[in-house]
Structure 1
Amino acid sequence: MNLDKEYENKKIPFIKKLGFSSYQLASVTETMVNTWQMYYYTTFLGISIVLVTLMFTISKIIGAVLTPIYGYISDRLYQTKFGRKFGRRKSMLILGIPLKCILYILMWIPNMPTYMYFIFFILYYIAQPLLTMPQLTFMSEMTQDSEQRAQLVGFNQAAAAVAGIFASLFITWIFKLLGQNNSMSYFVTAAIYDVIALIMLICFYKSVYERPYDQSTIMETEKQQTEEKGWQKISLVFWNFLSCLRLKSYLLYLGLYLSEQMFRSLWGNINTYFIIFVLLLTPNAVAVSTSAGFIFGILFLIFFMWLTAKTNGPFTYRVGDFATIAVCLAIMALAIFRPAHMTLLFIILTVLLNFAKTGVVNSTQFIFTFIPDIDEMVTGKRREGQYSGVNNTLDVIFSTLETLILGFLLQATGFVEKSHVQSQGTVNALLILYTVVPIILAIIGIIISYFFKLTTTNHQIVIDEIARLRSGGSMADVTPKTKKVVEQLTGFKYENCWGNNNVMTYHKKS
């Protein structure tokens, strides 16, 4: 597999960047899951909200447990003939793309026994990490140039916005054609989105490339592989999972990421309920407000790409979080005082909310591309798959717990399935969850951002040091400035970096 020439070219061709963004264009399926699936199951299929949230919880937790295992395996696939032929990451895509597309449509078939939805949900979330895990790695795999990575992040977000616009507008058209109170509207839409996703994922597979086979991608020697027994290999999967949490920059990144991801996930889970039961607007208002937010999101993305390049990720993150707080307060006032032109005002606030979301997402995605480089300074190896797997796992764990708690909270407030009106207790709970909770999470994220020192300048210092050591330089020749930056970002003494630790295997002394 000769990828060296393509990898060494720092400027990624435009067509490759466009193809890379195809993964997000395929996210029309996930937009529908996040916006409509809970509503579809409780309103049209009559499944209780507690049972639905339990279904989501069990399925996602199973997927979360498997994701770091997939990441561990993916990092080591160059040590197999299959991996050297298709790639460490693309091998996973070959398996995941057909499985995801088959299982996705099965979750939307109406009038099946409830246990069938459980089965298909579990299988879907077993297959899904085969795509989500490698997708996160490619922004680091395809180039080490921070400007090119920033552009990949931008293409990623722009495609997600386009997918969101299309997903929202298309289902509005289906509502007009088949009726918004018809379960077949949702099934037909899901089927069409599934076909689109398949085409886009194939384009993604054809466009991405990964780090070539070299010393940094060989995790263990043949002797080490032979000496390790079965139980040791299993234990090393979990050891490597936990080892990611020893990297200082990654822990701080997780604080930023989980903060913004949790309030964005919360909005996704209850957006439809909030609009219909709290603001008393129509289902069409859900689609219109969502699409309007996505349309302006593309313009916001251009601004934040420029801002991140000028100021670094943590500053961009704070801009997004402060905007989140301001818009949540405005939405709270809208729900309490109920002025005239509610739909128009909510659409405007949704647009502004998308400004906030664009900022925090652009920042965290950009920062994540630096994490494998900092880890390489510690281990001397490239573990993009491990960090992607851990990232997805922790994301699923926190978002699943959030969904489970949400379901029980709504049930406790008297939420009634198949009802178009909810009790005042449920309405109040939805208002607090939609506004107050995100404000608290945003404040936490702002505080953490002030402790985060992984800037573009410091990242380049680490990259240069890795290159020096990789070419045979001595650790004894490190400059005081480089040593300080390395220790600040890794959380390790400089002397304990570059594989002089037990981060990847407990057989080594720390």
Structure 2
Amino acid sequence: MSKEKKNTQYLSTGGEGVKIPLWRKIGFSAFQLSNVMITLVTTWLMYYYTTFLKIPIVVVTLMFTSAKIIGAVLTPIYGYISDRLYQTKFGRKHGRRKSMFLIGIPLKSLTYIFMWIPGMSQPLYFIFFLLYFLITPMLSTSQLTLTSEMSEDSDQRAQLVGFNQAGAATSGIFASLFIAWIFKICGQNNVNSFVIAAVVYDIVGTLMLILFYNSVYERPVDESTVLEQNKISLWKRLVNIFWNFISAIRIKSYWTYLLMWQCEELFRTIRGDINTYFIIFVLLLSPTEVAVSTSVGYFFGIIFLVFFMWLQAKTNGMFSYRVGAWGAIVVFIGIFMLAVLKPAHLNMWWIIAMVALNFGITGVVNSSQYIFTFLPDVDEIVTAKRREGEYAGVNTTIDTILDSLFTLIIGIILQMTGFKAGTKVQAPTTVNALLILYCIVPIVLLLLGIAFSYICKLNVENHKIILQEIKRLRNGGAKKDVTPNTKAVVENLTGMPYERCWGNNKVMDITRSIKK
């Protein structure tokens, strides 16, 4: 075995104090850098379809929703397959996670550009959008697993989450500034501006995915990563895919985390879907100002990230979440006042608001991503196996379905209020609807998220207790020797009796017998 491979295995199974090399952390962030592709989709594709291609907004939102939900149905299957790829020759050669990237990267690159080609029929746009959202979860599901797989050290995981967010912010800055430059050169009312941007973003995104692939490593083959010893029938495998999805949600720490996380995700989804419309039709600013304000916000997001990484180390994820959420609430109140009063120098005030909002967004996102890295460890104390792929799949599926439904609801609401595709000015009822959706709904979701953060008990201190107990059981320790405090923490986080943990349950296989 080569020295590099030994180092990789040591890093992936190391505990406290085992550091991941800086170049690998930077390479890990390249996945988020590749999201220049999706940034263009979330920021401009709906506007592009309704304004330049004259597709009705309800058709666009229905197209987006259908494609995303169909992709979401496949996501837990991707997670299930990825978790079990070490049982195949292909998986043992390339890795159970990296195999998914070998397949997905070229397919994503090919399908992306077709969504932006003008002059096609509506069914063709739907087909290519569908293909893109069938492939994207293959990559995102596998990427979500690697924060937990690359290290068992909480500090190293926090740094990976930080680099991940820094990559996302850098991606946002590039995506926003480049499209603004394209608008300046080719014109903001020119369909070719969007096509050129799509080609460039496709190339950049693909190169970043290749860099990511060559920088990350995963947990090597061991007892915890071989989930099935024997071949099973197709019917039983289909039952297990469904059962594994349900069983993940049953674990107490996951569903309490899910409530908090989805409040954060949904407020960002709503804002992202209508951000361009809000700036152009409510604030009456230009598309160029959309790009500039977005890029400035992302830039300051990197600075705020440093603060929240420090705050995470000093406190825990829940406190950071609350700080970010309260900050975002204050800013949304300010944005509401800007939209109503429209003071002088509105474009300057808007940029200031975007900077401040990114403080809140950075806090809630950093906290949610950090807490997520603990979930596979809670699952291992239940199953005695590593199912990072399962949780990544469940996360992506739930997020995509809710995201899609909210997008469809937004489209229906705007259509009902008289939204007109291809026009420069919208009816007052549409403007008012955009104002409520952009400012009031996120405030409600953030308040709910703060409330749910007090319910979720998965923090740094409890996570360390879980890791210590896993290590003891891996080394042959008897379950009867568990300390009362550890037993209480395990039962509180898992929601099941300690005696039913460490594989003595039906969480992974509904047909499994349970020891009395």
Instruction: Give TM-score, length-normalised by structure 1.
Output: 0.98
Q: Deviations over 1:360-415 (max 9, x none)?
A: 00000000000000000000000000000000000000000000000000000000
Structure-2 residue corresponding to 1:137: 145
Structure-2 residue corresponding to 1:194: 202
Counterpart CA distance in 2 for 1:7 and 1:381 is 15
Contact 2:11-2:151 within 8 A present in 1 as well: no
Out of 52, 56, 66, the position equivalent to 1:58 is: 66
Shift of 1:260: 0.5
Out of 4, 10, 35, the position equivalent to 2:9 is: 4
Alignment of 1:184-333 (within 5 A): 184-222=192-230, 225=231, 228-333=232-337
Work out whether 1:489 is the aligned partner of 2:493. yes
RMSD value, Cα? 0.9
Identity of aligned residues (%): 60
Structure-2 residue corresponding to 1:446: 450
Shift of 1:452: 1.5
Shift of 1:509: 4.1
Out of 95, 104, 108, the position equivalent to 2:112 is: 104
Counterpart CA distance in 2 for 1:220 and 1:467 is 22
Structure-2 residue corresponding to 1:70: 78
Q: Deviations over 1:165-202 (max 9, x none)?
A: 11111111100100000001000001000000111000
Q: Deviations over 1:96-120 (max 9, x none)?
A: 1000011001111111111110110
Work out whether 1:391 is the aligned partner of 2:399. no
Structure-1 residue corresponding to 2:421: 417
Tell me the amino acid that sits aligned with residue 412 of structure 2: F
Q: 5+ residue gaps in structure 2?
A: none
Structure-2 residue corresponding to 1:168: 176
Out of 121, 124, 135, the position equivalent to 1:113 is: 121
Shift of 1:6: 3.8
Structure-2 residue corresponding to 1:344: 348
- Aligned residue for 1:495, secondary structure, equals helix
Shift of 1:30: 0.9
Tell me the amino acid that sits aligned with residue 485 of structure 2: K
- Aligned residue for 2:53, secondary structure, equals coil
Tell me the amino acid that sits aligned with residue 12 of structure 2: Y
Alignment of 1:27-106 (within 5 A): 27-106=35-114
Contact 2:13-2:152 within 8 A present in 1 as well: no
Counterpart CA distance in 2 for 1:124 and 1:28 is 15
Work out whether 1:478 is the aligned partner of 2:488. no
Counterpart CA distance in 2 for 1:389 and 1:471 is 30
Counterpart CA distance in 1 for 2:181 and 2:338 is 28
Structure-1 residue corresponding to 2:464: 460
Q: 5+ residue gaps in structure 1?
A: none
Work out whether 1:149 is the aligned partner of 2:157. yes
Q: Deviations over 1:61-116 (max 9, x none)?
A: 11100000000010000011111100010000000100001100111111111111
- Aligned residue for 1:216, secondary structure, equals coil
Structure-2 residue corresponding to 1:357: 361
Tell me the amino acid that sits aligned with residue 106 of structure 2: P
Tell me the amino acid that sits aligned with residue 7 of structure 1: S
Instruction: Give TM-score, length-normalised by structure 2.
Output: 0.97
Counterpart CA distance in 1 for 2:97 and 2:174 is 29
Contact 2:74-2:134 within 8 A present in 1 as well: yes
Structure-1 residue corresponding to 2:136: 128
